[in-house]
Amino acid sequence: MKKDEKKSIKKVLEKKKKTIVDYKWIVSITTTAFLISLLFSFLSETIIPKVVLPVGILILILVIILGILFDIIGVAIQSAEEAPFHSMNTRKVKGAKTAILFKKNAAKVSSFCNDVIGDICGVISGTAGSIVALSLSDFLKVPNFLVILIVTALISALTIGGKAMGKSIAMNKSNEIIYAFAKIVSPFVERG
């Protein structure tokens, strides 16, 4: 190997070592996760026990779907291409500017979607699932242990299966997903 090649490789490796840790972002996302989790947990603990069983099951399914959808968005943001959104932005297409912003901040947006919303939905679905399982157990007159076991397994299977299917969709339709999401949230993100 030539001396110039060694120097070039060494420079590339040195650049990779200089990773900057954004502590402000870490504190911000941790605080946001805590607050959202607190709110969702409060709502799940106070609302689900008071609703009829079919409504509790519906809420549980919606929480699982929400987790899957945000996982899809998080994966799509990581795999989307930025160039098409620049082209759309020059034509003043609604949502293109937000899509560019998401793509430029892909690591943070993906972390928020996958880790904050997705993981909180996983925790909440577990809590909601326990409440639904206890109600279902009383309704069916079946031992709690058996119903909790089955409901927990169903929640896991639906979540894992949904996210596995969603990842394939996210990888293949990333630009379309990001554009659709950006179009929905652009009124809240774009200023003027």
pLDDT tens column, 134-178: 999 999 999 999 999 999 999 999 999 999 999 999 999 999 999
Handedness of CA 25, 80, 100, 112 (dihedral sign): negative
pLDDT in tens, 23-77: 888 899 899 989 988 988 888 888 888 888 899 899 999 999 999 999 999 999 9
- Both tokens of residue 138? 């009383």
Residue 1: pLDDT band (50, 70, 90) is low
- Mean pLDDT confidence for 74-94: 92
Q: What pLDDT, on a 0 to 100 scale, did the predictor assign at position 143?
A: 92
More confident call, 182 vs 45 = 182
State the pLDDT confidence band at 12, using cuts at 50, 70 and 90. low
Cβ burial, residue 167 (10 Å; 0-12/13-18/19+)? middle
The model carries a pTM of: 0.81
Is residue 19 very low, low, confident or very high in pLDDT (cuts 50, 70, 90)? low
